[in-house]
């Protein structure tokens, strides 16, 4: 019986186009190995770290244009946040405006007779969160294009009288259509 099969790295491969990080990939692989129950925890941790590294490297080699795009999207978000303190925003091909609202939060501690209470504030006057902008832009941008494609497909089906059904980013029609 093979210990490592397709299911172990499938989630990482599928989420790579959404900008999965090495840490996220390691976690996904670890979870799958844990679910399979084939390795003890110490080996599972080491195996997930190793598999994450080689899986992402292989994806980068095979799908280098997609990997390059993810790097570029992250750089755009970093520049917008660090140099201009503005959130990343774009308009989909359908004209739908998208804005990433990620800002740093501010925490204050208030002493009460019952103890210390922490209050988090994340208003629009706070600086943009560079890390959240960078991590969010690649998957959010790709999701917005997926949603645009689905909507355009639904609209075209509607104009042609073709049955159309959808759940999240999966959509289909009758086989005769």
* 149-169 residue pLDDT tens: 999 999 999 999 999 998 877
pLDDT at 41 exceeding the cut of 60: yes
Q: How confident is the model at residue 125 (pLDDT cuts 50, 70, 90)?
A: confident
Q: Is residue 105 pLDDT above 90, yes or no?
A: no
pLDDT of residue 132: 93
125 vs 90, higher pLDDT: 90
Region 73-79 average pLDDT = 96
With a cut of 90, say whether residue 26 has pLDDT above it: yes
Percent of the chain with pLDDT over 90: 64
* Helix-helix angle 22-36:6-16, to 10 degrees: 150
């Amino acid at each position: 019986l093979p210990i490592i099969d397709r299911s172990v790295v499938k989630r990482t491969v599928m989420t790579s186009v959404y900008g999965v990080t090495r840490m996220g990939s390691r976690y996904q692989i670890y979870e799958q190995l844990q679910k399979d129950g084939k390795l003890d925890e110490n080996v599972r941790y080491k195996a997930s770290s190793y598999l994450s590294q080689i899986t992402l490297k292989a994806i980068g080699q095979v799908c280098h244009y997609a990997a390059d795009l993810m790097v570029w999207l992250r750089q755009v978000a970093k520049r917008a946040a660090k140099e201009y303190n503005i959130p990343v925003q774009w308009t989909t091909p359908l004209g739908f405006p998208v804005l990433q609202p990620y800002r740093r939060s501010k925490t204050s501690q208030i002493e009460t007779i019952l103890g210390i209470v922490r209050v988090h504030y994340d208003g629009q006057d706070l600086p943009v969160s560079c890390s959240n902008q960078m991590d969010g832009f690649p998957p959010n941008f790709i999701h917005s294009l997926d949603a645009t494609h689905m909507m355009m497909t639904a609209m075209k089906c509607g104009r042609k009288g073709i049955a159309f059904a959808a759940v999240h980013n999966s959509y289909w029609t009758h086989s005769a259509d």
